[in-house]
Structure 1
Amino acid sequence: MDQIVVFPIIITPVANERKYPYLVEIPALDGLTQGRDIADAIEMARDYIGTFSLTDELPPSDPTLPPVKADSLATLVTVNISAYRRRYDKKVVKKTITIPNYLNELGKEHQINFSELMTQALKEKFNI
């Protein structure tokens, strides 16, 4: 079963900022990011939470909206952490494969990096 988390975020317009006019706070993670518009700000918050989960333990989900100033917006974002990790976790894992001996010998003769070759083949297979 996938791990889905919910966190409140606060989106605040930033005066005189043209490229990223929305500041996004993720209070539970003491995180900040920015967005080009409201939808992008929400997406950046999701990405921040997902990226955070790759290296640090997330606190428990908290669906409580914090108080905000008049010009800010508080909302909840959900992130499927399991799906995010499947897509972006670049941690290397050891896999054991079975190949015919003649291919193993040819690979050794030609100094083939089997891990690199398998990675390339899988990326090609999945159109990554």
Structure 2
Amino acid sequence: MTVVYPAIFTQTGDKKDTYLVSIPDLDGATEGHGLADAIGMAKDYVGNALYDKSVLPPARAIKDIDVQSSEFAQAGPSFVSLIDVDLEAFRRIEKSRNVRRNITLPEWLDDMATAAKINVSAVAQSALKDRLGVSR
């Protein structure tokens, strides 16, 4: 399911070409360096804000968004654009990201792995995949 929400982009005029992004229907904000990065950050914000929601907040029509009402209105010139996110694709991507887990090893084993330059995370992933019968 693809969702579409209006976002207000405000260019600050700094050396990093920063755009502040307000997403009023989700009571959220983000920023990016350059317009492409700002759009990507806005998509990430929308995806994360709606990731586990079964009922989605309604999105206003683009014509109903007033750039002067943005929390960043005084930071520079602003415009409104629509942000679309395929929530099903976003959820699949998010689930495929790595997560950090701590494991406990005897110190002697950790010392040997370090000396042999073995990536303990890669070995743990391989062992878990073998144990669970996962091939991806």
Q: TM-score, structure 1 length as denominator?
A: 0.62
Query: Partner residue of 2:128?
Result: 116
Residue deviations 1:34-84 (CA, integer Å, cap 9, x gap): 010111111110000111122445313434341214810100011000100
**Equivalent-residue separation in structure 1 for 2:133 and 2:17 (angstroms):** 36
Matches within 5 A, 1:1-128: 3-16=1-14, 18-19=15-16, 21-56=18-53, 57-65=55-63, 66-69=65-68, 71-89=77-95, 116-117=128-129, 121-122=134-135, 125=136
The answer for unaligned runs of 5 or more in structure 1 is 91-114
Residue identity (%): 36
Structure 2 gap ranges (5+): 69-75, 97-126
Determine which structure has the larger helix proportion and give its number: 2
Distance (whole Å) between structure 1 residues aligned to residue 45 and residue 32 of structure 2:
12
Could you tell me which amino acid in structure 1 is paired with residue 40 of structure 2?
Answer: E
Deviates more, 1:52-61 or 1:42-51: 52-61
Distance 2:90 2:10 in 1: 26
Distance 1:61 1:89, change over 3 A: farther
Aligned residue pair count: 99
Spell out, residue by residue over 1:59-114, the C-alpha distance to the aligned partner (whole angstroms, 9 max, x if none).
Answer: 13434341214810100011000100011036xxxxxxxxxxxxxxxxxxxxxxxx
- Map of 2:109 onto structure 1: none
